Amino acid sequence: MKAKAADFLILDKETGAYKIDPEQAVRDDVEKHYWHHVLLTVAKDWRLYLMLVPMILVFLFWRYFPMYELLGCFKVSDNVLPVSEQLFSGFSYFKRLLFAGDGLSTDFWRALRNTFLLSFYGLCFGFPIPIILALFFNEVRSNIARSVFQVLTYLPKFMSTVVMASLVTMLVKQGSLTTEMGIVSRFLAGLGLISRDVANAGLLNNPAFFRSIYQISGIWEGAGYDSIVFFAAIIAISPTSYEAAQIDGADKMAQMRYVVLPSILSTIVIMLITRIGNLLNVGYEKVLLLYNTKTYMTADVVSTFAHRNGMQSGGGTGIAAAAEMMNNVIGMLLVIGANKIAKTASNTSLY
Amino acid sequence: MKRKLEISELIFKILSYTMLTVFALCCLYPFVYAVAASISGRSAVEYGSVVLFPKDIQFDAFKRMFSDNMFWNSYSNTLFLTLFGTIWSMVVAILGAYALSKKRLLFRTFFNFFLVFTMWFSAGIVPQYLNYLATKDVFNAMGIVDDKWLVVIAMGMAAMNIILLRNAFEGVPSEIEEAAIVDGATEMQVLRQVYLPMSKSTIATVALFFGISRWNGYFWARQMISNQNEHPLQVFIRLRLEQFTDPETMAGWNESYASDSVIYALIICSIVPILVIYPFIQKYFAKGVNVGGVKE
């Protein structure tokens, strides 16, 4: 950008003549020798920039270099050569996964569908429950009772995925001639919700039950913890709002409808948009721990598909990288789109 | 009119207490059952007569586990990973967040984007795996053959935690920092004596998040640690579960306790440390889910 002459010259009141503006001269110098000034600033303030270095290195090495490895999806499948030495092969893996019509391709479509469905059901069932829990928490006036409820319902969140998956595996495990089936299976069979034979064969071996088990264990694990943010929004409502509504003759339902709901709506919208943005981020660790060959039909998600093909045996790292590339690009578009919507809807940017 | 109000509120109150009690009990029950099943006798567990209270109490399942060297090994490995992993992550995150919180930092927008982009787009597990393998080679070439250090240094960093810290640091009034600088404090002193004490609760929250994720870490530890003696507890639990739920290995089981009891005992041992510190850390949880504070 070229500075106009008028920017340089200021009127000197005492002599009545124009002279060069010293500040503008500095600005002009900075513009001309930009990198020189950057270097000077960094050198003068080097301690601050040194603090940034470990973080940059960690993210560069273990977050950005994998993205370079991801480019393997455009290369010839060769697990021996590093990505940089492979030949560029364009979109062959993508074509293979999307249109080949063989076993691998059907598996990929199934994985994509399962990924979407697991998240979508999570959104339908997992999302409203924390809100309802928060409403219930608000009804508990005694501090001791409320903290007891909160301690108990937050607890499963801090168990590891392995502990959670192990408990689930044990609680719904199959029965045999000498051993009884898991206690939850027995409970469900006793209630008549599922037949005894089905329960005895092991619910985790039955593709029809995988999604329910995944969602219910997810609610068990996270609903209490997820309710914190809604509860915080609800207790922020001023008691006078309730009193005003009561004077107007509003019963509990009307208070919910006209006082509570409008007050926490923005929180709900933000959380909902975040969930939609993360629609393709299924916790692969949990799926990996809970699924087996018998339940691939409903349980296999893109990450586990990639895991099997890229890290165990199967299609190879190129195929796996192509599958993850598609999943992650769609996921990123969803996140960015969701963030855009959040910005326009509530003037709150999530990131 | 007044009467009708009270009834609707009473009904909702009763409903709330009932539903919360049911849900809280559902949350608690699996753990109670695990305790009961781990100390019950073999036939009681296998024929499913344990429901809430233990029957034919035995402690042999626990004894078997405590006499297992692999168990203690994995426990100490987990302690190692949690301690050093949390320290490493905290040092990197605090330094980075402090620099990012400074308005005078050049290219601040770029560095923020650098961080936030990793939340939008992740390479996925297979590219990460290939990358870790390459890192492992580099580490080995440098003479670090212990895979635990790879897990400590390379894994467990989360952009979200750095952003939480950065927002806390941005909330520290700049007058205090200026006063410290006038008194001749260096950058490190400002960070240590002004910023850290003033954002204690956020630091506790983030340390808690790092610590819990390290303690619970499973997948990458299993993928990257090849030496069995270096496996952390979570990997050990999983391997035992796979072994003990396999009908073929279990065919010759002739102990006085059920094989399930050992798994339950393991699960209990792995969650006891969390339960012990849980009451002290519980008040910090809510901070981390504060969505409104997250902005670019």
Looking at residue A146, what is its pLDDT?
86
Contacts of A327 in chain B (CB under 8 A): 124
What's the pTM value of the predicted model, to 2 decimals? 0.85
Angle at A53 between CA B149 and CA B199, to 5 degrees: 90
Q: Is the pLDDT of residue B105 over 60?
A: yes
Interface with B, mutate which of A34, A40, A44, A52 (most B CBs under 10 A): A52
Per-residue DSSP letter, B271: H
What is the pLDDT averaged over residues A50-60? 94
Looking at residue A203, what is its pLDDT?
87
What is the pLDDT averaged over residues A185-201? 86
Q: Which residue of A has its CA nearest to B159?
A: A59
Contacts of A42 in chain B (CB under 8 A): 106
Q: Is the pLDDT of residue A347 over 70?
A: no
Mean pLDDT of chain B: 86
Residue in B13, B28, B126 closest to A139 by CB: B13
Contacts of B110 in chain A (CB under 8 A): none
| Residue B36's pLDDT band (cuts 50, 70, 90) | very high
Task: Please give the share of chain A, as a percent, with pLDDT higher than 70.
Answer: 91
Q: Is the pLDDT of residue A55 over 50?
A: yes
Per DSSP, helices labelled H in A236-281 are 239-247, 252-255, 261-277
Distance from CA of A41 to the nearest CA of B (A): 8
Per-residue DSSP letter, A64: I
CB-CB under 8 Å, A229 with B290: yes
Looking at residue B281, what is its pLDDT?
76
* A88 CB within 8 Å of a chain B CB: no
Q: Left if phi > 0, otherwise alpha if psi is -120 to 50, otherwise beta: which for B258?
A: beta
Under 8 Å between Cβ of A343 and A271? no
| Residue B51's pLDDT band (cuts 50, 70, 90) | confident
CB-CB under 8 Å, B285 with A59: no
What is the pLDDT averaged over residues B216-221? 90
**Of A270-274, A295-299, B38-42, B249-253, which gets the smallest average pLDDT?**
B249-253
Angle at A311 between CA A305 and CA A312, to 5 degrees: 85
What is the pLDDT averaged over residues B191-209? 88
Nearest CA to B30 out of A341, A102, A184 is that of A184
Q: Helix or strand or coil: residue A49? A: helix
Q: Which residue of B has its CA nearest to A51?
A: B95
Q: Is the pLDDT of residue A79 over 60?
A: no
What is the pLDDT averaged over residues B160-166? 90
Residue in B122, B127, B186 closest to A321 by CB: B127
Residue in B102, B111, B282 closest to A151 by CB: B282
Looking at residue B34, what is its pLDDT?
92
pLDDT digits (tens, 9 = 90+) for B109-145: 999 999 988 888 888 888 898 898 888 888 889 888 8
Mean pLDDT of chain A: 84
Q: A92-99 and A317-346 helices cross at what angle (nearest 10)? A: 80
Distance from CA of A31 to the nearest CA of B (A): 15
Under 8 Å between Cβ of A236 and B286? no
Radius of gyration of chain A measured on its C-alpha atoms: 29
According to the per-residue pLDDT averaged within each range, which of A234-238, B88-92, B105-109 is highest?
Answer: B88-92
| Residue A95's pLDDT band (cuts 50, 70, 90) | confident
Joined together, the tokens standing for residue B230 give: 């270096």
CB-CB under 8 Å, B13 with A324: no
Looking at residue B98, what is its pLDDT?
94
* A25 CB within 8 Å of a chain B CB: no
pLDDT digits (tens, 9 = 90+) for A146-169: 888 888 888 888 889 999 999 999
> How far is residue B178 from each of residues A45, A49, A217, B101, B185, measured CA to CA in Å?
16, 19, 51, 15, 9
Distance from CA of B219 to the nearest CA of A (A): 7
Distance from CA of A149 to the nearest CA of B (A): 6
| Residue A1's pLDDT band (cuts 50, 70, 90) | very low
